[in-house]
């Protein structure tokens, strides 16, 4: 993965001083190559208010919207105690398995908050070619992934519980596991859950051909 980082001047500085600082080497964009074990997907901020009928709003976002973080063009501001940075990310290689960690939990000085936003995602046929840099697209014959496991968090951050949806490769059926209970589940129900961690498997060439047949 390529990570592009640009330091930002303090927002309270006068415009002229900001312009001067942006000319310094310290404030020029830098790029580093980095490996990753999983991709963290950021959720949009959940609405704070109820709708006009005084019912809680359950926000939703498409998977591809939060994957845009890795398209090489989307910038996001990151703040530290003293400094602010703009960062953008671009994938340079796709492994046989991808792990997505959907960032539902945030910590502040007092408590942990959970974002309940539902991520809308297809179970199969997620193509990540557009998130690769152009020069390495040719090196990836297969860029399509299928979901094989989905970990769900239910309830409040401190009192919630976990479930996992697992694909049985031999039969193509999905099962839900919670503690010692195992039940079958329809794929359509998986997409309605508060997904937290997902594991995706890249299709091999013969699998791609079978899907297209």
Q: What is the pLDDT of residues 120-139, one digit of tens each?
A: 999 999 999 988 888 888 88
With respect to residue 212, please indicate whether it lies within any of the assigned structural domains: no
Mean pLDDT of the chain: 86
Q: State the number of CA atoms in the 13 A half-sphere of 153 facing the CB.
A: 19
- The count of other CB atoms within 10 Å of the CB of residue 122 is 13
**So what's the pLDDT on residue 148?**
97
In-domain check, residue 207: no
DSSP state of 52: T
H-assigned helices in 8-86: 15-21, 63-67
The answer to whether position 210 is within a domain reads: no
Report yes or no on 135 lying in a domain.
Answer: yes
At residue 89, does pLDDT exceed 80? yes
* pLDDT at 58 > cutoff 90: no
The tally of domains found in the chain comes to 1
In a domain, 209, yes or no: no
Taking residues 4-27, report their average pLDDT.
80
What is the pLDDT averaged over residues 24-41?
89
Residue 66 lies inside a defined structural domain of this protein: yes
Question: Domain span at residue 174?
Answer: 2-202
Q: Residue 20 pLDDT > 70, yes or no?
A: yes
pLDDT, tens only, 139-151 = 888 999 999 999 9
Task: Read off the pLDDT of each residue in 189-202 and give the average, rounded to a whole number.
Answer: 94
Residue 63 has pLDDT above 90, yes or no: yes
We report the CATH number of the domain holding residue 186 as 3.90.70.10
What is the structure's pLDDT at 50? 59
Q: What percent of the chain has pLDDT over 90?
A: 51
Please say if the pLDDT value at position 212 is more than 60. Answer: no
The model carries a pTM of 0.85
d(CA 108, CA 113): 8
Task: With respect to residue 213, please indicate whether it lies within any of the assigned structural domains.
Answer: no
Q: Is residue 208 part of a domain?
A: no
> Distance between CA atoms of 165 and 167, rounded to whole angstroms?
7
């Amino acid at each position: 993965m390529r990570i592009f980082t640009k330091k930002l001047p303090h927002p309270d500085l006068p415009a002229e001083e900001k312009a001067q600082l942006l000319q310094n080497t310290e404030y020029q964009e830098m790029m580093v190559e980095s490996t990753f074990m999983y991709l963290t997907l950021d959720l949009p901020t959940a609405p704070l208010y109820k709708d006009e009928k005084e019912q809680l709003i359950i926000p939703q976002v498409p998977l591809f919207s939060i994957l845009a973080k890795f398209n090489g063009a989307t910038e996001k501001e990151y703040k530290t105690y003293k400094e602010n940075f703009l960062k953008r990310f671009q994938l340079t290689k796709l492994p046989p398995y991808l792990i997505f960690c959907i960032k539902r939990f945030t910590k502040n000085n007092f408590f942990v908050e959970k974002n309940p936003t539902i991520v809308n995602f297809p179970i199969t046929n997620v193509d990540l070619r557009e998130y690769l840099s152009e020069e390495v697209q040719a090196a990836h014959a297969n860029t399509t992934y299928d979901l094989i496991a989905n970990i769900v968090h239910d309830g409040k951050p401190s009192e919630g519980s976990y479930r996992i949806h697992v694909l049985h490769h031999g039969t193509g059926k999905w099962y839900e596991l919670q503690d010692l209970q195992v039940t079958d589940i329809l794929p359509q129900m998986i997409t309605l859950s508060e997904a937290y961690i997902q594991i995706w498997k890249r299709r091999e060439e013969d699998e791609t051909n079978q899907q297209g047949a």
